Structure 1
Amino acid sequence: MRKQSKWKLQVLAIATSGALLFTGPSALANSLDDLKGQQREIQQKKNSINSNIKETEGKINQNESKIDQIMAQIQALDTEILATEKNISNVLNEIKKTTDEIETLKASIVELERKIEERDKLLKERIRAVQVSGGSVSYLDVLLGANSFVDFIDRFSAVNTLMEADRTILKEQADDKKQLEEERASLEKKLAEQEESKNKLVNLKSSLDKQKASKGTLVDQLEAEQAKLLEQKKGFETEYDEVLNIDADLQNKIVAEQKRLAEVARKAAEEKKRKAAEERKRQQSASGSSVAIPEVSSGAWTKPANGTFTSGYGYRMHPIYGKGKMHYGVDFANSTGTPVVSAADGVVSYASPLSTYGNVIMVTHSIDGQTFTSLYAHLSKINVSVGQVVSKGDKIGAIGTTGNSTGPHLHFEIHVGNWEGMTANSVNPLRYISI
């Protein structure tokens, strides 16, 4: 999947380069939007890859935590195995010691068995002696056969000695046999217990070894998965770097395209200005006057018409009514038909006769966030319509003498804001235009 994604990115890069290298002028008009669209796609791809990287990092951290836990368990098992091996060694030493004791006991048993055998022979000889004497001799007969009291005492002493010897022999024989059985039983029991303990410890160690092997296998699996995740993360990071390179390349192309469009706009403005100048010259040539269309000045405003400045803004003696009256604009006298141009960029908001103004055009302007309205009166012609967008210096009408006028001239007003009558918001136009 990563290879397919990488292939798509490479195709996108090639397509982007191709769009800039081989498109014609008509296609270039949309190239900036296309580049920005591609940049948005690249950003989405970057976000997706970054999300994959974070998800993989999370899995790596989880795996690392599992490995640490299992390694801790393995270390605990190692400690337990070492303790068990030590216990097994101790038990084996005890078994060896017990085995040595048994070997020693066997030697003692051999000696004891020899003594028992000798006593058995002695007892058998005593029995045989009794049998030889007829079998009727008893200790009482021996005593009664005494010839005198002294002989009786001697015989009694001898009988006692014999009887004591017999008792001693019998007791020793019984004690030795009992001791033999007890020691043999004790050692055999001890040896059996030690063997059982050894078997338990051996089984415990076997179980621990199996657990350790199982844990080791799990660690191997986790480490293999960890290596796979790290490789996957590395792949995502490589892909992210590739996307970054493409994104940077797109950014450079967007910057270049914006510069190109700015240059196109600049050239278009120059071409427009050149054509306007040619049109003014043409009109000047057609009218036979060298001052037909005013030269467009720099800045936001320009002079609306060529001609003689005949009246300024303020109180004056009215030429018709013959008394002092406020003049809310400025007048430029020239021949009928002399071109009138828009004093600034704007939108035509009125184009029709208006009371004593005669034929009137009003243009609404937005300059540096401020709204202005310019008014052009007494026109002989209206060449624009309401809603039409006009640029500074565009011809909109012609000087005339319509309305209350004593001769062909342009009456020009500027109002701050919208036009709400002659007296509202009017300002001296010479603040903005030159004569």
Structure 2
Amino acid sequence: MRKQSKWVLRVLAVATSAALLISGPSALANSLNDLKKEHKQLEQKKDTINSNIKETENKIDQNESKIDQIMAQIQALDTEILETEKNISTVLNEIKLTTTEIETLHASITELERKIEERDALLKERIRAVQVNGGSVSYLDVLLGANSFIDFIDRFSAVNTLMEADRNILKEQADDKKQLEEQKASLEKKLQQQEESKSKLVSLKDSLDNQKASKGTLVDQLEAEQSKLEQQKEVMETEYEEILNLSQDVQDKIVAEQKRLAEVARKAAEEKKRREAEERKRQQAAGGGSNVAIPDVSAGSWTKPASGRFTSGYGYRVHPIYGTGKMHYGVDFANSTGTPVVSAADGVVSYASPLSTYGNVIMVTHSIDGQIFTSLYAHLSSIKVNVGQVVSKGDLIGAIGTTGNSTGPHLHFEIHLGNWEGMAKNSVNPLRYISI
């Protein structure tokens, strides 16, 4: 009775330690999944921020292009303004010269006006002389009053001289007045044209100055926007750097968590060996016979994960879907959908979800003779274990299917030295460890 009580206590102790081992890895595995989810979210946020940074850089480049175009236009306006100012200066010099000509003409006009006044006075004097003589001068009386022929000739010459003088005075008076009017009109017209040209040039310069000011304002706005975009880019780059550091930190935690799971798998293997040893001692103490081999489970550390036809080995092959030469990082066993899949060795379930082209996937982390392995089971129709669950070699974990990229129901099986970090890294030929 006492021996039976001890045996019951031993069984309870083993069951309790097994429960602790199962709950511990489950908590760790849940933490690992949370970390992976957080890492994925951080990677997505990095991609979003990186996309926003590139978009902002494109806007900055577009603004720089606009600024360069406007600055080129401003330089062209500056050239035109300088040319206009040069033309204005030329017109001002012409106006100055014309003004000088007008001033010179004023002196000439003053002299002409003096001559005209003198002639006017002379003409008025002759008019008065005519009025004094009864309203007319009789050149015939002058001639007939001659005392001799010589006197007549002298008088005739004098009369001709006076008549010619009158005609010359009148002609000069008319010519001077006409010249005066023409000179005045010519200079005034020239001055008016120059003033109009000056006015147009000044108006053109004002227009160019306004265009330059307007474009300068636009450049100021673009440069302000450019500064704002640069600040936004700097903030995003800082945020990206922070997330990059945080992502690395989470990645480090994931690696640490995987190492902890591997350690859990190692302890679980040791615990199983201890329990098996205790069970053998118990059977020997109870007089029992030798262990009965589990059907379809190989002796040693590893066993074949599923029954079925071996259809593809490890190495390069023509891919059944893509039709091109590709590396096959595992081995395939074909069988009907629902065929049981067992754990190939003792370990801890470290992944149990869909994964890319693998379809439904289970990964088990093993610790065998101090070496960490990860086995992978892909294209499953169902998953029958949870992350963190401790499993023994030959325990049911899933069923054969054709999920993911698959041409028919089969099990794709991989073995990796250490943790799984992608199909190509640390993969080994599973046939080193299992038989077919």
Q: Indicate the TM-score class for this superposition, using the shorter chain for normalisation.
A: 0.5 to 0.7
Deviations 1:210-238 (A, max 9, x none): 11111111111111111011101111111
Matching residue of 1:240: 240
Give, as a single letter, the amino acid of the residue that structure 2 aligns with 1:192: Q
Q: Which amino acid in structure 1 is aligned with residue 269 of structure 2?
A: A
Matched residue type, 1:163 = M
Residues 54 and 154 of structure 1: CA distance in aligned 2, closer, same or farther (over 3 Å): same
**Structure 1 stretch 24-33 or stretch 160-169: which is displaced more?**
24-33
Say if 1:95 and 1:195, in contact at 8 Å, map to a contact too. Answer: yes
Question: Residue type matched to 1:236 in 2?
Answer: M
Task: Read off the aligned partner of 1:345 and give its amino acid letter.
Answer: T
Gap change, CA 1:267 and 1:187, over 3 Å in 2: same
**SS class of match (1:287):** coil
In structure 2, the partner of 1:121 is 121
1:62 is matched with: 62
Aligned to 2:164: 164
| Displacement after TM superposition at 1:391 (Å) | 8.0
- Structure-2 separation of matches of 1:235 and 1:98: 66
Which position in structure 2 is the counterpart of 1:96?
96
Q: What does residue 345 of structure 1 align with?
A: 303
The amino acid that maps onto 1:45 is K
Sequence identity (%): 74
Q: Distance in 1 between matches of 2:213 and 2:305?
A: 88
Q: Which residue of 2 aligns with 1:424?
A: none
- Structure 1 residues 191, 391: CA separation in 2 closer, same or farther (over 3 Å shift)? closer
Whole-angstrom distance in 1 between the partners of 2:227 and 2:88: 39
Structure-2 change in CA distance of 1:136 and 1:346 (3 Å): closer
Within 2, Cα distance between the matches of 1:179 and 1:119?
Answer: 16
**Matched residue, 1:37:** 37
Q: How does 1:178-327 map to 2 (within 5 A)?
A: 178-287=178-287, 292=290, 301=299
State how far apart, in whole Å, the 2-side matches of 1:266 and 1:129 are: 154
Superposed displacement of residue 294, structure 1: 10
Write the mapping of 1:12-51 to structure 2, written as runs, cut at 5 A: 26-51=26-51
Asked if the contact 2:98–2:187 (Cα under 8 Å) also holds between the matched residues in 1, the reply is: yes
Indicate the residue corresponding to 1:153 in structure 2.
Answer: 153
Q: What is the Cα deviation at residue 105 of structure 1? A: 1.1
Q: Report the TM-score when normalising by structure 1.
A: 0.62
**Is the 1:63–1:222 contact (alpha carbons within 8 Å) kept by the matching residues of 2?**
yes
Separation (CA, whole Å) in 2 of partners of 1:272 and 1:196? 111
1:344 to partner: Cα distance? 6.2
Deviation at 1:140, TM superposition (A): 2.6
Asked if structure 2 preserves the Cα contact closer than 8 Å seen for 1:283 and 1:293, the reply is no
1:118 is displaced (CA, Å) by 0.9
Structure-2 separation of matches of 1:173 and 1:188: 22
Q: CA shift at 1:24, angstroms? A: 6.5
RMSD of equivalent CA atoms: 3.4
Structure with bigger gyration radius: 1
**Per the alignment, do residues 387 and 82 of structure 1 end up closer, same or farther by CA in structure 2, a change over 3 Å counting?**
closer
Asked if structure 1 preserves the Cα contact closer than 8 Å seen for 2:46 and 2:243, the reply is yes
Tell which deviates more after alignment, 140-149 or 80-89. 140-149
Gaps of 5+ in 1: 1-22, 303-342, 350-365, 372-385, 397-431
- Provide the rounded CA distance (Å) in 2 between the counterparts of 1:229 and 1:259: 44
Partner Cα separation in structure 2 for residue 218 and residue 390 of structure 1: 71
User: In the alignment, what sits opposite 1:8?
Assistant: none
Distance in 1 (alpha carbons) for counterparts of 2:199 and 2:244: 66
Q: 1:36 touches 1:254 (CA, 8 Å); kept in 2?
A: yes
Describe the shift of the 1:246–1:118 C-alpha distance in structure 2 as closer, same or farther (beyond 3 A).
Answer: same
Q: CA, structure 1 residues 156+49, in 2 after alignment: closer, same or farther (shift >3 Å)?
A: same
What whole-Å deviation, never above 9, does each CA across 1:222-263 have from its counterpart, x for those lacking one? 111110111011111111111101100011001111111111
Aligned-partner residue type, residue 255 of structure 1: V
Verify the 8 A CA contact 1:301 1:392 in the aligned structure 2: no
Deviation track 1:235-294 (CA, whole Å, cap 9, x = no partner) reads 1111111110110001100111111111111111111122112212222232278xx459
> What does 1:390-405 correspond to in 2, within 5 Å?
none
Question: Contact 1:74–1:215 (CA<8 Å) still a contact in 2?
Answer: yes
Distance 1:173 1:244, change over 3 A: same
After superposition, the C-alpha distances for 1:130-168 in whole angstroms (9 at most, x for unaligned) are 333444432233233334433332222111111111111
Q: Deviations over 1:353-391 (max 9, x none)?
A: xxxxxxxxxxxxx999598xxxxxxxxxxxxxx979698
Q: Distance in 2 between matches of 1:46 and 1:30?
A: 24
Alpha-carbon spacing, 1:210–1:288, altered in 2? closer, same or farther (3 Å): closer
Aligned in 2, Cα 1:259/1:101: closer, same or farther, shift over 3 Å? same
Give the partner amino acid of 1:138: S
Distance 1:31 1:395 in 2: 25
Letter of the aligned partner of 2:132 in structure 1?
A: V
CA 1:166–1:33: 2 relative to 1, 3 Å: same
Q: Which one scores higher on RCO, CA 8 angstroms, separation ≥ 6?
A: 2
| 1:129 Cα offset (Å) | 2.6
- 1:286–1:388 CA distance, 2 compared to 1 (3 A): farther
Deviation at 1:62, TM superposition (A): 1.1
Amino acid at match of 1:158: A
For the 8 Å contact 2:25–2:261, the answer to whether it is kept is no
Is the 1:85–1:205 contact (alpha carbons within 8 Å) kept by the matching residues of 2?
yes
1:71 aligns with 2:29: no
The change in CA–CA distance for 1:45 and 1:191 in structure 2 (over 3 A counts) is same
Tell me how far apart the structure 1 counterparts of residues 233 and 282 of structure 2 sit (CA, whole Å). 71
Post-superposition shift, 1:113? 0.9
AA in 1 matched with 2:247? D
What is the CA–CA distance in structure 1 between the aligned matches of 2:146 and 2:67, rounded to whole Å? 102
Aligned counterpart, 2:132: 132
- Deviating runs (4+, > 6 A) in structure 1? 390-396
Q: Residues 347 and 81 (structure 1 numbering): CA distance in 2 closer, same or farther, change over 3 Å?
A: closer
Work out whether residues 302 and 393 of structure 2, in 8 Å CA contact, stay in contact via their aligned partners in 1.
no
Contact 1:49 1:240 (C-alpha < 8 Å) held by counterparts: yes
Deviation at residue 26 of structure 1 after TM alignment? 4.4
The letter of the residue matching 2:182 is E
